[in-house]
Amino acid sequence: MISVLVVDDSAMMRRFLTQIFERAGDFKVRTARNGEVALELLGEASYDVVTLDINMPGMDGLTCLSHIMTETPCPVVMVSSLTEKGALATLEALELGAVDYIAKPGGTVSHNMQEVEEELLNKVRTAAAAKPRFRSLDIHPTPAEAAPQKASEDLGAGSEREAEGLILVGVSTGGPSSLETLLAGLSPQQQWPVLIAQHMPATFTGVLAQRLNGLCALPVMEVTKPTPLLAGRVYMAQGDKDIEVRRRAGRLMAVPQPQDAERPWHPSADRMVESALEVFAPQQLIGLLLTGMGDDGARAMQNLQAAGGRTLAESEESCVVYGMPRALVEAGGADQVLPIEAIPAQLKRWLLSSA
């Protein structure tokens, strides 16, 4: 049995969530009406997973999460609204160490949680086996503080050189933290742009791109329309869609596409890599598969490696969930397996050898 502590100030939401877990049959549930009560209960007993509402009176979800991660670390799944404000708070929670999140389909008090019942159960089961990792939010520069760094790199309007190659990144659970570490280690002078397929709703990918743009030296943007792929830039696929690499009117473009219903994960890393192989020679591509549950990207990156491209998987030691990288490693499709902190240096070595 998986022991779950449900923390929400709404009695109705506590009842909805409890009913979902009890119907599943493999959960033991206890509830808390606010952050203070949750911390008391965590001090008395251990739980496999905590589901934590973000918006609560008194001690809010982020404050409660920071106490959990420093005092009684355990896997936490945030429950948030699908608003821009909710998305920003959720990303901050992931930075603090939350394993994953569930977006309420109907606002703060959702009467239709059954719409996300399967997703909720899958994410909580996965979280029970995940490794929580605490990170203090105050270690990061604000967008205003990061602006001089960008200016000092003389980015200006950015390079207008077309991509000579492409770095393709597939990532899911635990992605925001890993992406920050990856991008912070890359130089704006690099020749190859980065295209990212992060499994997230559209409300979240736009906020994540803005956040990463403020924290990293590389310019980061969400791809909401056909966009030229230029050197030294980072492109994030829009959530709830897929992304393809195409050549249009002689230009290399990242092109949003409607979801392929036959693929379970979106934006699809497999589809992204497959499309890139139709445009670039394999030697012009580097595939990265980072933390996340499932196996999205493994098949396409295995094919990329077999064709002569280079591939890299994040190692288990730094993954929140060692699912997607594991699938690539077990298929024999990873040239390198490294913790996230070591990946930027390896990319630089590969890029220098390709110059």
Chain centroid to CA 106: how far? 23
Q: Quick check: 80 and 56 in contact, CB under 8 A?
A: no
Residue 140: the pLDDT is: 41
Give me the residues of the chain with pLDDT under 50, please. Answer: 137-158
Name the residues annotated as catalytic. 172, 199, 296
C-alpha 79/C-alpha 120 separation (Å) is 9
Residue 138: the pLDDT is: 43
Which residues have C-beta within 8 Å of that of residue 157, sequence separation ≥ 6? none
Domain annotation for the chain: domains and CATH numbers: 2-138 (3.40.50.2300), 143-354 (3.40.50.180)
List of E strands, the chain: 2-7, 27-32, 49-53, 76-81, 100-104, 166-171, 194-198, 220-223, 227-228, 234-237, 242-248, 251-257, 285-289, 310-314, 336-338
Q: Quick check: 219 and 155 in contact, CB under 8 A?
A: yes
Q: Quick check: 149 and 141 in contact, CB under 8 A?
A: yes
Residue 139: the pLDDT is: 37
C-alpha 349/C-alpha 347 separation (Å) is 5
Tokens of 277: 């192989």
> Could you read off the pLDDT of 165-175 as tens digits, one per residue?
999 999 999 99
Residue given tokens 């394993």 in the structure block: 99
The DSSP code for 282 is G
Q: Quick check: 245 and 275 in contact, CB under 8 A?
A: yes
Residue 114: the pLDDT is: 75
Give the global pTM: 0.86
Residue 135: the pLDDT is: 56
Tokens of 276: 């890139």
Q: Residue 251 burial (CB < 10 Å; 0-12/13-18/19+)?
A: middle
